[in-house]
Structure 1
Amino acid sequence: MIFLLLSILFSTGLFVIFKYFGIYKVDVLKAIFINYIVAFSMGFLLAERQIPILEIYLEPWFPGALVLGALFIAIFFVMAMTAQKNGVSVTSIAGKMSVVVPILFGIFLYNESVTFFKILGIVIALIAVYLSSVKEEKQEKNGTLLFPVLLFIGSGTIDTLLKYVQVNYVADADVSVFSGSLFGIAAIFGFVILTIRTIKKREAFGLKNVLAGIILGVPNYYSIVFLMKALQNKNIESSTLFTVNNVAIVIVSTLVGLLFFKEKFSLKNKIGVVLAILGIVLVTIA
């Protein structure tokens, strides 16, 4: 349970850092690239079992890391496009509601338990995610449904694939180096994109973006590592874990936004937080 709590804590930390990115006008793509390099380096420096970098392609989990690394970058761009075309509120809801994908896979792929209270808790949790995430935006956007759908599927696929690779291919001692590897692969894709962008528009990288990336990299690395360690716990089903993890992040992030960033807290948001707590209690009891 301690790993789940740490994952929630560090994931919420990412929310806070991204808030400050907006305040200080950080180039998010550049910071994300540096963040992946930092997380990659930590993965190999803190690994329990040392594996030569040039030999990681021989590991059974490497294909999974390759796909996840590519998805990390792809979903980053889908999130950006969703925010531009459909608004921040839709982006937040689509990303967080994607928890239903790993929940369903956990039930059908791993034959996890299905009880009345568990299903009720999950349904309440999903309603809570929506109510907690919805914001009153000044400008109404009428974008295509393509990007929200892609974000929903992509985010859910990342969680589902992470669980699948962890269960079938990643040994307990390899969690750190596996996490570092998928971040390293994401960094390679990010480097290619940055190179193409630089060719089109030459501009300085900026010390501010480097520092922002370093600050982001540490909690990003630990959010993945602690989530994977939590998934190793045989006493917690993945459908329960993903529900508690995602919904708890929504609650804490919403409260942080209210207390530290003076965000508007509507009646819907208040109801969402109350329902989120109820959903977590029901799923945990079940």
Structure 2
Amino acid sequence: MSYLVIAVLCSVAVSILLKILRQHDIDIRQTIMAGYPVAFILTWVFLKPDLSKVADLNAAWGIILLLGILLPLVFVILGRAIESMGIIATDAAQRLSLIIPIVAAFALFGEVLTLQRTWGIFLGFMALVALLYRRPEKANANNSIYARTDTGEKRGLAKLPVGSWLLGVWVGYGVIDILFKQVAKQGTAFPLTLFMTFGLAGLLLLVYLIINKTRWEGKALLSGVVLGMLNMGNIYAYIKAHQTLADSPSVVFTGMNVGVIAVATLVGVFAFKESLSKFNMLGIVLAIACVFVLFWS
């Protein structure tokens, strides 16, 4: 359970960093891109992937390719969703992607659905709904992490239905969760998969930024060092949590999402002075109850 706590804390720290960078009008795309080489190097130094086993990856290449594409792509889709639908709706879609891996835990990974786990998952969903509840607000393009170009002008959106961006966020994060579960099942071979994934993701995002003629910013790139360390800690701990609780993927899926929302809500209230409604407070209580029920299941 300690790995799950570390994963939650690293994930919330990433959100805090991105919020601070957004407040200072820093191009977060560059920060995300710069973070992947850092995660790539940290994987090499601390996990020591065995490059001699590259030829033995076989089916893992499919996972590497999908994660290498999806990790940077989902960040781009996330930015588009925020521009078109606003931060609140986008965050809700991201966290409610929990539905996809939860269904996969029982349909694909053979987890036994006990009554206690059913109650825990139910409490988790109720907590997410309560924690994500906000009074309706108009979408503001200036809140987007991709809302400006290097000249300060707002970037034009592709002519797609606005709801399609939210669908992309929902599906993207759900599929990524399932893929990380597959990485966890590789046992001692997972450092090599992570190593190759970080390298591919960073390369693809770099190409994307070059194609868009990005004007590079020193602050954004330096911030990527911190982001890369937090991202590495988050993903490593998340995979280790799946390995430690190999027979209970739904516990990891639910605990991660509910934990992130609960901690982020508290940080928002006490650190950023955001308002907390009665529904949000109920969500925190339900989140704590969810964690206890799933932990003792």
Same fold at TM > 0.5: yes
Query: What residue is the counterpart of 1:269 in the other structure?
Result: 280
Verify: 1:158 aligned to 2:156, yes or no.
no
Contact 2:87 2:139 in 1 (8 A): no
Verify: 1:59 aligned to 2:70, yes or no.
no
Query: What residue is the counterpart of 2:256 in the other structure?
Result: 245
- Which of 213, 217, 220 is 2:231 aligned to? 220
**1:88-137 Cα deviation digits (max 9, x unpaired):** 11111110011121111111212212122211221221121122123335
Instruction: Note the C-alpha offset of 1:57.
Output: 6.3
Contact 2:43 2:49 in 1 (8 A): no
Structure 1 vs Structure 2: percent identity of aligned residues?
26
- Which of 187, 193, 204 is 2:202 aligned to? 187
SS in structure 2 at match of 1:99? helix
Q: Counterparts of 2:30 and 2:276 in 1: how far apart (Å)? A: 32
Query: What residue is the counterpart of 1:229 in the other structure?
Result: 240
Query: What residue identity is the alignment partner of 1:283?
Result: L
Instruction: Note the C-alpha offset of 1:46.
Output: 1.8
**1:45-102 Cα deviation digits (max 9, x unpaired):** 22234316xx746523232111111001111111111111111111111100111211
Distance change (3 Å), C-alpha of 1:57 and 1:158? farther
Q: Counterparts of 1:232 and 1:116 in 2: how far apart (Å)? A: 23
**Structure 1 vs Structure 2 CA RMSD:** 1.9
* Unpaired stretches in structure 1, ≥5 consecutive residues: none
Q: Counterparts of 1:57 and 1:22 in 2: how far apart (Å)? A: 42
Contact 2:184 2:240 in 1 (8 A): no
SS in structure 2 at match of 1:110? coil
Verify: 1:171 aligned to 2:187, yes or no.
yes
SS in structure 2 at match of 1:145? helix
Q: Counterparts of 2:203 and 2:259 in 1: how far apart (Å)? A: 32
Map 1:11-22 → 2, pairs under 5 A: 11-22=11-22
**1:139-181 Cα deviation digits (max 9, x unpaired):** 258x7322212211111000011112331xx232x33332232
Query: What residue is the counterpart of 2:9 in the other structure?
Result: 9
Query: What residue is the counterpart of 2:100 in the other structure?
Result: 101
Q: Counterparts of 1:235 and 1:73 in 2: how far apart (Å)? A: 27
Q: Counterparts of 1:185 and 1:228 in 2: how far apart (Å)? A: 19
Q: Counterparts of 2:139 and 2:42 in 1: how far apart (Å)? A: 42
Distance change (3 Å), C-alpha of 1:68 and 1:222? same
Verify: 1:281 aligned to 2:285, yes or no.
no
Instruction: Note the C-alpha offset of 1:210.
Output: 1.2
Query: What residue identity is the alignment partner of 1:74?
Result: L
Distance change (3 Å), C-alpha of 1:234 and 1:264? closer
Distance change (3 Å), C-alpha of 1:207 and 1:25? same
